[in-house]
Amino acid sequence: MLEKKPLITDLYSADPSANVFNGKLYIYPSHDRDIEMESNDNGDQYDMEDYHVYEMEDMNTPPRDCGIALHIKDIPWASKQVWAPDCGEKNGKYYFYFPARDKEGIFRLGVAVGDQPWGPFKAQKDPIKGSFSIDPCVFTDDDGSSYLTFGGIWGGQLDKWKTGTFDPNGGEPPDEADAVYPKIAKLTADMLEFAEKPRDLVITDDAGKALKAGDRTRRFFEGPWLHKYNGTYYFSYSTGDTHQLVYATSKNIYGPYTWGGVILTPVLGWTTHHSIVEYQGKWYLFYHDCELSGGVNHKRNVKFTSLEYRADGSIVTINP
């Protein structure tokens, strides 16, 4: 049984986005390099250069490495650090979304297009207009409309965009202020650009008040994921420096989203990042830890485990 065991062991992998295309499950992780670098809050140690795509026939068979789907040298606008990606499909084409630093060192979001779920993908000449920060997640709703949620603070630079323009000296707000909001934007019909200016995705407590920056066990840090279960939108994410995966729910895709609870308690390693997918009639959580490297934060490995909902729609907390 592969559950809760490293799925990819010949290289380091992290930030798995799992999607089902044509009846098979595909994993889109970032690729941690086996290098020695000092860790810092800017994330310099996560110096990724390429992406591999993995195909799984079922949950008992190890995934097949489909090879390099995209390399930074083939992204015209990017300078370094291709971080956590995701992939969507429309009309038989596959759209691979990824973050990278541009030539000025600012994180932008890019999109590359391919004819198969495993690529290879050809990057657009420029990043998505009006994009910034990291961790894109593409979600297609029941009506066929697609949306991108994104954002990550600290090294992901989302907290440097509070004024609407990039402020290199930006940071988290004071504890008593509202937490930094992740972003959501509808995509154009061709899946290549934002159809609107990105909106704040507000996460509230049960009383409808936005979570505060000092609420570090619940506030958004990075790693957004959007999925739908029984007509309800679930927005899940990492709390970063408190090392949990958590979720909030809404009946409106734009929110506000009400805090729901903890999905995954802390794993070995500093970061945690995930996706949630239904496959062959069951729900699964894909995530990463640092088991293979013994806890080295920039040498991670992808795992998965079963995910369960209670009758009221709440998610049962998983202890790794």
Which residues belong to the active site?
A: 15, 222
Residues 304, 88, 76, 196: is their CA dihedral positive or negative?
negative
8 Å CB contact between 273 and 15: yes
For residue 259, what are its two tokens?
A: 């805090």
CA distance 87 to 27: 9
CA distance readout (Å), 118 to 20, 66, 75: 12, 6, 17
CA distance 59 to 284: 10
User: Mapping DSSP to helix (H, G, I), strand (E, B) and coil, where does residue 79 land?
Assistant: strand
- Cis preceding linkage at 63, omega within 30: no
Place of tokens 């086996």: 34
CA distance 130 to 150: 12
Exposed/middle/buried for residue 60 (C-beta within 10 Å: 0-12, 13-18, 19+): exposed
